[in-house]
Structure 1
């Protein structure tokens, strides 16, 4: 049997044929999960940014960057100025993000963090580690993936 295709390498995502590859995946998704795909097309189900800043006398001392879509809050980045860590700012940012997610109709939260960043923080706040990618940074450090189920009664625990 002969090889049906020659492989070529391209530097960008706009190479000739890229749109066709995307189309094939979309068509497959529409066939396999039409209800989900219909939901994604509706304006009310588009991802909505959520940005929460903690401000003090010196300006911004912490922040959380996230988005909500369908039933999920996805936290992309959360950081606190090193001079203000350990004072509950991160816990307050997280609690407010969860509160906003509930207002937006979310039932779940997803976040990933490096093993040297904040896995203990998320565990203390009711998150469950659902996955780990070893050596994510090619220097021996794992990426940890966490989720949490939200409910109106859910509370973010304090340190």
Structure 2
């Protein structure tokens, strides 16, 4: 397994978006995708996600997987072609925990 960390910086050199992921055998697991709340809706999340997918393909990964919560970004991942594979209800209380997968072949 190998960590893959990417970020986007603003003009002042401050990190405004980032991704932490792990290359595992034949897949890449997206652990964290973060965009500063003041920097959202500028395409940074999509830019990072597409770059991670590009690297995963370059490394011969067959698929990517990730998890997110109902109060985070499930629609963002669906928009990028990720398929919901399972849901855990009421985790945390009052919300859902979603697991997504995207085939890269």
| TM interval, short-chain normalised | over 0.9
Give the length in aligned residue pairs.
Answer: 104
Which segments of structure 1 move beyond 4 Å, counting only runs of 4 or more?
none
User: Using the alignment, how far apart are the partners of 2:73 and 2:96 within structure 1?
Assistant: 12
Partner SS, residue 99 of structure 1: helix
Task: Name the SS for the 2:50 alignment partner.
Answer: helix
Tell me the equivalent position of 1:87. Answer: 42
1:143 to 87, 92, 97: 97
Which is bigger in relative contact order (C-alpha 8 A, separation at least 6)?
2
Matched, 1:113 2:78: no
TM-score (norm: length of structure 1): 0.64
Q: Aligned to 1:96, which of 42, 51, 59?
A: 51
Normalising by structure 2, we get a TM-score of 0.96
Out of 134, 142, 146, the position equivalent to 2:89 is 134
Tell me by how many angstroms 1:107 deviates. 1.2
Q: Which structure 1 residue ranges, 5 or more long, are not aligned? A: 1-46, 152-159
State whether structure 2 residue 30 is matched by structure 1 residue 75.
yes
In structure 2, the gaps of 5 or more residues are: none
Structure 2 equivalent of residue 51 of structure 1: 5
SS at match of 2:98: strand
